[in-house]
Structure 1
Amino acid sequence: MMMLRERPIRAVILGAIGATLLLTGAIVTLALLDRTFPPPLEAYQARSVEVRDHVGDLLRAYTVDDGRWRLAVDLADVDPAFLAMLIAYEDRRFHDHAGVDPLALMRAAGQFLANGRIVSGGSTITMQVARLIEPREARSLGAKLRQILRALQIERRLSKDDILALYLTLAPYGGNLEGVRAASLAWFGKEPQRLETGEAALLVALPQLPERRRPDRHHAAAQAARDRVLARMVDAGLMPAAEARRARLLPVPRERRAMPMHAAHVADATIRADPDARFHRLTIRRGVQRNLEQVAREAADRLGARVSVAVMMADARTGAILASVGSPGLADTRRAGWLDMARAVRSPGSTLKPFIYGLAIEQGVVAQETMIADRPANFAGYRPRNFDMAYQGDVSIRTALQLSLNVPAVRLLDAVGPARLASRLRRGGVAPVLPQGEAPGLAVALGGAGVSLHDLVQLYAGLANGGEAVTLSLRPGHAGEPRKQIIAAHAAWHVTDMLAGINPPEGASRRGIAYKTGTSYGYRDAWSIGYDGRHVIGVWVGRADAAPVPGISGYASAAPILFEAFQRSGIPAVMPARAPAGAVRLTRAALPVTLRRFSGSGEAAPPVHATEPAPEIVFPPEGARIERTAGPAGPVPLVLTLQGGRAPFRWLANGRPLPGISRNRMRQWQPDGQGYATLTVIDATGRAARVRILVE
């Protein structure tokens, strides 16, 4: 009896051992197969390259190599109501199963036996991901088994959120659209962050039969599919019937929208600079960019079939480029829209004149109310003429700049020196393009050098920033190079004050904008650059092939676009900065005798030649740091000393004349306070010397 009892026990033990070994072998075999034949997840890692604005909004996306729109999906950026509807409709036990839903498979098998064909596949979302990464030609039991095995593998490798994000990235939505973001942008023109109930239902329905339910080709089928999703939600108790009825009233789109293509030229350049990156963040503001693109398109339509328009806007304090429009349209072949005219080097016309005037004021050569001759002049054979071929006679510096008179500008450039102007422009990060082997000449005042719209906006940002150079950038947080002074702060204020007095174009409000226009030789380029207390906008008008456009001018063609761009940018106007210490506009009567009239070269009458050497400030020297000392009656005045020059002498501190005229080469000056100060002395012949010091 004992032997008979031991045999069953032994058999049970041996059976259990055998079953364990068999199960272990099966597990090991499956593990080996899993490692040997992993799901091809890496093959579908390609995503559309995206260029985004300063807060992450999409500016432009690019298709993957096979021409499909496949935008990466972050579940945090998808409407939670859509996600809940998708799971309820496609795989309600998604978060509970391990990739395969046995109940759904049993239901599908029963439908197959009852109907003799596959009615529903019983696929989970994970199984659908398996089908998407390994597309099949036809539905079959073998294909279904493969999906099941792949789903189990995928669940071992990815979290539920990762699987759902992968599905929402690869799911087909008709044509070359893949993923919920591409579908939402194409059908609704928006990201899937906040979807209407009807929109969410349509996006749930489309991946099942994406080609047969394309709204642009099979509108009725798309609407019926959407309504079935809504009905299912009501039947499942997940949606009130009233909400479903309201959702059915929402029209299904009949046309597919174009993908966002804002700042197209900038986006292309960004991709070329860093082709390996998938995401690019720029300083561009999408709303501003969109508005200025519309302004450029409308302006180009008004100006002519072959006329192009470029617009750029920047923050003068940070250097951030807020919008850059290189042409009215990338695909506009009539205007060579593929060329980025915001970066094209062209003749700037009169747009560099403010920097000539700024240098002249900085050096104490002129003030705003100094009189200057606008008459025919000869500068060693160079005879500039005004745009209208007429002359105004004697005018103030303020009027000469506001009327953009050519002869006075050349007179001042001759006085301050073309090389000095070029040096200051380079200090502002801009190197004007000159004919090979030539040095800067007087023609630079009238556009005889090449610059781009980007260059001009950068230079004018320095004016708006108190004369301090700003490096424009498209990269958020870009610190740029250490800032340098293009012109002194008081000179920048005077230039701004004069430019702000120019009348706006007809029909435009003043808006507190300081601006300058320019027209290049032969009517090839029309410019207008303006700024308020913080923002700079530049406009270029012309033909991309540099052919003449009869009748265009900076004031008539570009300035109206400038004021419209400020108005429609969506950014509130900022008041100009207050005048710095010592910057004050004096009447002509209050000016020193030597500043009441400018007499430079090029005059019809021969200039007066001084026999003495030019004046030179010997104390304090350039760049000196002066510590103020206190006496019994308060701070001790600083003694200014010069040598050379012809008496009498007129001294200016930060552009403001000191009281009285001195015949001595020494005088006292009481600084207003601490900080940088510019001291200028002018002798009887109009020659000047200047130093910049720091009072501590």
Structure 2
Amino acid sequence: MKRGIAVAAALLALAAAAWLLCSRPALEEYYPHSRAYVDTHGRLLRLTLAADQRYRLFCPLEQIAPNLIDATLLYEDKDFYHHPGVDILALARAFWTTYITRSRRVGASTIAMQVARLRWRIRTNTIAGKLRQILRALQLTRHYPKARILEAYLNLAPYGGNIEGIQAASLVYFNKSADRLTVPEALSLAVVPQNPVQRNPARPKGFDHLQAARKHLFARWIETHPRDRQLTAFFDRPLAVRPPAGLPFAAPHLIDYLEATPPGSTNGRVPTTLDLNRQLTMQAVIRNHVARRAAEGITNAAALALDTRSMTLTALAGSADFFNPRIQGQVNGATARRSPGSALKPFVYALAMDQGLIHPMSLMKDSPRRYGGFTPENFDQRFLGPVSAHDALILSRNLPAANLQARLGEPGFYGLLQRAGIGELRPAAHYGLALCLGGVEVTMLELAGLYAALANGGRLQPIRMVKGEMAAPSGIRILSPEASFLTLDILKDNPPPSSHRQPLATIQGNEVAWKTGTSHGFRDAWAIGVSRDMVIAVWVGNFNGKGNRAFVGRSAAGPLLFDLLAALVPERGWRVADTMNFSQLNLKQIEVCATTGELPGHHCLHTKKSWFIPGISPIRVCTVHRAVPIDRATGLRACRYEPGHTPLAVFDFWPSDLLAVFRMAGVSLKTPPPFGKACDLDRRAGAGQPPVVTSPQAELVYALQSDRATHRQIPFTAVADGDVRRLYWFVDNSYVGNSASQQPLMWTARSGKFDVRVVDDHGRAGHTTVSVQMVR
């Protein structure tokens, strides 16, 4: 007897020591949690499953409706705050009824014991399991206050099916957070954990079990809450709940993107910047567009809307149908890398304006030119000749854009893309001058960020998708405010697609500064526009890269862009000029020659206004329109002006390369007549512009085959003044031949480095060098 008492005392001492020394266990954070993605107004977009395929959201006790807490304590453990985690008397009664009299199975689990069972997944249908549960409950009570244990219970309790925790249950069944539960809702959920299979609110057959239990609880509830007796009618009605299958699955591409790198959250609630109304509108507009154009092979499209003020994404549709495997609908078109076609050209022009190479009315040459081994072509395979920078960008001419990129100083266009954070860039040499023509691949998010930078005065800022994310206060400057405004001011003059007939690109009275892009092989059609405080980007194509001649930016993506602008930007009266504070910009408007974009000379008949950046924009007096004296007797150009004998006549002195383009286009020009024979060479040489050698190029090394003469020929070409007929070529001061001013001279090369000199028929000269290396 004494020995037994001693053993019992020792065991009790060991149990007491274990209780005192046991470590503090983790509670509900031990289990993975779901994330509830909501839109900017708090509307649920998607509730994700936790890693163990359960719906489980953490909710602090203070954010749970008090009526739910009171109902749970009343139903599960009314003496919760008065026992040490285990109710000894209740356990004794349960043990006697279950194991001694065996009349029926009775439970006596306190909330602490239930937390222990849920936390450690204890099977309590055996005595050993029950003892383990009791010890764990005592351990929890040893380390945690009662409120913390109650909080853990409400976050771990089963509420039917794979739903655990009151926050997930409230969100799934009633589409509201746990702090907004009504008394009938609270009492209905309070009885579920005791029998989550039979009382599952989403099971039609389980309603009778749930109904009986909650009516029993309500009878006890009104004893202490008599004012709620008026709610009796609610407990006689069926419970209106949303089953888990009815949970929303909105904005799937964005949610999947965020899930790949889950944002930090203390309670699993992720407040996105998305506006559900805008999202649903965007999806509907895309579906309608694809349905209308299906006969042309247009089956897929993607789009996004970005608020330029806050840099928040307000809508994103990564494909026309997320659930359509035929179009690979689950691919996210907003993050896929695709060729942008000409959609990057505006940034070449903006950078060129910042570097003082052009202003909007600068004359550019849309004419053939070879850059080493690269010969760019226009989309229509035609040439316009002289064209203003404004029109070259609006008409999306490839040759002027490539020429501008070639002229850019450091940082070049590649450097701008690097600074803008364009991902997966290869070395600059890989792209060459094709960089601005769609040679680089970008994502829609990157492209939208670049256009938002134009609207924000040249500052690039990160795109925000989750509310509360800290954005860079000022961003990274990639362009000046002046160049940004001038670029948007040009793009606003881009005429709308034919499906939206109006003289200017306007929607709902708002100006639209927009650009299109068509990738090589008609694989991608792009349209992106800035209007009011919104950037909308649109892509049309196939995720498998299959081309379709219908995939042209203006006709395939442009109409969708304008449909989205009409649906998402209803405000009226916005102008591009509203984006800038002109008092803080270094900008002026000046009169320029309408033909050349230069300061009008005495003989310029037509002028127009152009924006100009003082101290940066290139400006010089126009020399194309010149007055020359004409000999009345011969009709030839006189050597000097003699009043009364040699009247002045105005001619256009276009460079020889542009003259050739005019002739190719069938345009007849009034070229200046040649000098009379009496005019000496010195007088003729001083009356115009010297030739500029365009081939060979000094920066290249020409590697030629040495065994065949025809493979050793290099073309000599130069741009000469408009009055030049012939060019004479010299290599190291040795005459090698002559050619018409618009024709090449083919020189048979030899190994070495040589000085190349060209002299026009008026004695004006230019020169370059050429390096030749023979290979076999």
For the criterion TM > 0.5, the same-fold answer is: yes
Measured in 2, the distance between the counterparts of 1:297 and 1:370 equals 43
Structure 2 counterpart of 1:303:
290
Separation (CA, whole Å) in 1 of partners of 2:237 and 2:558 = 47
- Output one character per residue of 1:360-401: Cα deviation in whole Å (capped at 9) or x when no partner: 433444443456676x645467352345x7777876544443
Q: 1:27 offset after TM fit, Å?
A: 5.3
Q: Using the alignment, how far apart are the partners of 1:427 and 1:37 within structure 2?
A: 56
* Counterpart code for 1:486: I
Is this contact kept in 2: 1:425–1:459, CA < 8 A?
A: no
Q: Find the counterpart in structure 2 of residue 581 from structure 1.
A: 585
The correspondence of residues 258-277 of structure 1 with structure 2, limited to 5 A, is: none
> Partner amino acid for 1:582?
N
When structure 1 is superposed on structure 2, of 216-225 and 164-173 the one drifting more is 216-225
Q: Helix, strand or coil for the counterpart of 2:432?
A: coil
- Deviation at 1:453? 1.4
Q: Could you tell me which of 67, 70, 82 is aligned with 1:81?
A: 67
Structure 2 residue 174 is the aligned partner of structure 1 residue 188:
yes
Matching residue of 1:34? 19
Inter-CA distance 103–29: structure 2 relative to 1 (3 Å threshold): closer
Report the more deviating stretch, 568-577 or 519-528: 568-577
Specify whether residues 605 and 391 from structure 1 end up closer, same or farther in structure 2 by C-alpha distance, changes over 3 A only.
closer
C-alpha displacement of 1:581? 2.3
- What's the CA shift for 1:224? 5.0
- How far, CA to CA, are the matches of 2:623 and 2:266 in structure 1? 59
Taking the aligned partners of 2:27 and 2:58, their CA distance within structure 1 comes to: 14
Q: Distance in 2 between matches of 1:335 and 1:22?
A: 75
Deviates more, 1:465-474 or 1:338-347: 465-474
Q: Which residue of 2 aligns with 1:454?
A: 445
Aligned to 1:350, the other structure's residue is in SS state helix
> Per the alignment, in what secondary structure is the counterpart of residue 514 of structure 2?
strand
Contact preservation (8 Å) 2:459, 2:479:
yes
Residue 275 (structure 2) pairs with residue 288 (structure 1): yes
Match of 1:640 in 2: none
Deviations 1:514-550 (A, max 9, x none): 3322222333212222334655343323221111245
Query: What is the CA–CA distance in structure 1 between the aligned matches of 2:474 and 2:70, rounded to whole Å?
Result: 52
Structure-2 change in CA distance of 1:50 and 1:432 (3 Å): closer
Structure 1 match to 2:418: 426
Q: 1 CA distance for matches of 2:656 and 2:93?
A: 99
Q: CA deviation at 1:347?
A: 0.9
Q: 2:658 aligns to what?
A: 603
Secondary structure of residue in 2 paired with 1:527: strand
1:164-313 matched pairs, under 5 angstroms:
164-217=150-203, 218=205, 220-221=207-208, 222-237=210-225, 240-246=228-234, 251-253=239-241, 255-257=243-245, 285-288=272-275, 291-292=278-279, 295-296=282-283, 299-300=286-287, 302-303=289-290, 307-313=299-305
Instruction: Give the structure-1-normalised TM-score.
Output: 0.69
Deviations 1:127-175 (A, max 9, x none): 2223323546675677656544443332222222221221122211222
- 3-state DSSP of counterpart to 2:342: coil
CA distance in 2, matches of 1:282, 1:538: 28
Which secondary structure does the structure 1 equivalent of 2:430 belong to? coil
Check 1:474–1:529 CA distance in 2 against 1; reply closer, same or farther (3 A cut). same
Percent identity over paired residues:
30
Q: Which moved more, 1:21-30 or 1:169-178?
A: 21-30
Is contact 1:527-1:540 (8 Å) kept?
yes
Residue identity matched to 1:344: A
Q: d(CA) in 2 for partners of 1:145 and 1:431?
A: 59
What amino acid sits opposite 1:93 in the alignment? D
The equivalent residue for 2:110 is: 124
How many angstroms apart in 1 are the aligned matches of 2:338 and 2:289?
A: 22
In structure 1, what is the Cα distance between the partners aligned to 2:655 and 2:58? 66
Q: Is the 8 A contact 1:345 1:451 kept in 2?
A: yes
Offset at residue 491 of structure 1 (A): 1.4
Q: How far, CA to CA, are the matches of 1:333 and 1:35 in structure 2? A: 60
Kindly provide the CA deviation profile for residues 471-520 of structure 1, in whole angstroms up to 9, marking residues without a partner as x.
44668655669955433321111111222344556575354443322222
- Distance across 2 between alignment mates of 1:208 and 1:56: 35
Matching of residues 187-586 of structure 1 within 5 Å: 187-217=173-203, 218=205, 220-221=207-208, 222-237=210-225, 240-246=228-234, 251-253=239-241, 255-257=243-245, 285-288=272-275, 291-292=278-279, 295-296=282-283, 299-300=286-287, 302-303=289-290, 307-314=299-306, 316=308, 325-327=317-319, 332-370=324-362, 377-379=368-370, 382=375, 384-386=377-379, 397-406=389-398, 408-410=400-402, 412-413=404-405, 416=408, 420-430=412-422, 433=425, 438-441=430-433, 443-472=434-463, 484-502=476-494, 508-532=507-531, 534-562=533-561, 576-579=579-582, 580-584=584-588
Deviations 1:62-85 (A, max 9, x none): 544433233223223323332233
Offset of residue 597 of structure 1: 10
Bigger Cα displacement from structure 2, 74-83 vs 304-313: 304-313
Aligned-partner SS, 2:193: helix
Residue aligned with 2:543, SS: coil
- Equivalent-residue separation in structure 1 for 2:478 and 2:120 (angstroms): 62
1:225-244 Cα distance to aligned partner (Å, 9 max, x none): 44544444334435522234
**Cα 1:534–1:302, aligned 2, differ >3 Å: closer, same or farther?**
closer
Is the Cα contact below 8 Å between 2:302 and 2:318 reproduced in 1?
Answer: yes
Q: Which secondary structure does the structure 1 equivalent of 2:153 belong to?
A: helix
In structure 2, how many angstroms separate the alpha carbons of the residues matched to 1:501 and 1:480?
32
Q: 1:351 deviation in Å? A: 0.7
In structure 2, relative to structure 1, the CA distance for the partners of 1:237 and 1:326 (3 Å cut) is same
Summarize the Cα distance change of 1:121–1:511 in structure 2 as closer, same or farther, 3 Å threshold: farther
Q: 1:231 to 1:379 in 2, by over 3 A?
A: farther
How many Å apart are 1:604 and its aligned residue?
4.7
Question: Which amino acid is 2:16 matched to?
Answer: A
Check 1:72–1:142 CA distance in 2 against 1; reply closer, same or farther (3 A cut): same
Q: Answer yes or no: is the 8 Å Cα contact 2:116–2:122 preserved in 1.
A: no
Q: Relative to structure 1, is the Cα distance of residues 501 and 596 closer, same or farther in structure 2, using a 3 angstrom cutoff? A: farther
Retained in 1: the 8 A contact 2:285–2:563? no
Counterpart CA distance in 2 for 1:601 and 1:300 is 52
SS at match of 1:206: coil
Question: Against the structure 1 CA distance between its residues 33 and 427, is the aligned structure 2 distance closer, same or farther, given a 3 Å change threshold?
Answer: closer
Determine which structure has greater relative contact order: mean sequence separation of CA pairs < 8 Å that are 6+ residues apart, divided by chain length. Answer: 1
* Farther off after superposition, 263-272 or 216-225: 263-272
Note the alpha carbon deviations across 1:180-237, whole angstroms, 9 max, x for none.
Answer: 2222233233432322443323322322221222233335334554454444433443
Aligned partners of 1:40 and 1:171: how far apart in 2?
18
Q: What 5-or-longer segments of structure 2 have no aligned partner?
A: 501-506, 601-619, 625-653, 663-687, 694-720, 722-776
The amino acid that maps onto 1:470 is Q
**Following the alignment from structure 1 to structure 2, what is the Cα–Cα distance between the partners of residues 267 and 600?**
57
Alpha-carbon separation, structure 2, partners of 1:104 and 1:526: 73
Distance 1:566 1:54 in 2: 21
